[in-house]
Amino acid sequence: MNRFLKGVIASCAGVLLLVALFIANGIASGFAQHKTSRQSKVDELFNRNCARCHGADGRGDTPSGHLFKSPDFTDAEWWDKNATLTGTRSLRSLVTHGKGAMPAFGKKLTKSEINLLVDRVRRFKK
């Protein structure tokens, strides 16, 4: 193979490598942006529907939280003591159907939104 052809091949390989890196970086950036966008949606859902009683930080330290005795989702001891209520299926049912002072969200939110909220609540667990 002559020198000229080797140079062309090497240049093309270099260009292809750069293109692949740009594409990979764009995909990673898009994924991170999607993840941030999803997280923003979850936070907005929680703040709009839950934070009044449970607090944005999940501690239940709000006027409504005190009135209705909202649990502190950041308290590991609460999670242990209420293990029968804190499974994903149980939390999903509580959000959907309500219980005690907690309203039912099954007609207000989609199943997907309820699942997002349950995941958000479970993230408060230490």
Give the global pTM: 0.69
CB atoms within 10 A of CB 85: 14
Domain 35-123: which CATH number of 2.40.50.140, 3.30.830.10, 3.40.190.10, 1.10.760.10: 1.10.760.10
Q: Decide: helix, strand or coil at residue 102.
A: strand
User: What Cα–Cα distance (Å) separates residue 31 from each residue in 34, 36, 41, 44, 102?
Assistant: 5, 9, 15, 20, 35
- pLDDT (tens digit per residue) in 47-63: 999 999 999 999 999 99
The yes-or-no verdict on residue 39 having pLDDT over 70 is yes
Residue 91: closest CA among 118, 126, 61: 118
- pLDDT (tens digit per residue) in 61-100: 999 999 999 999 999 999 999 999 999 999 999 999 999 9
Provide, rounded to the nearest whole percent, the portion of the chain with pLDDT above 70.
Answer: 71
pLDDT on residue 31: 45
The Cα 81–Cα 77 span in angstroms is 6
**pLDDT interval class at 40 (50, 70, 90):** confident
Domain ranges of the chain: 35-123
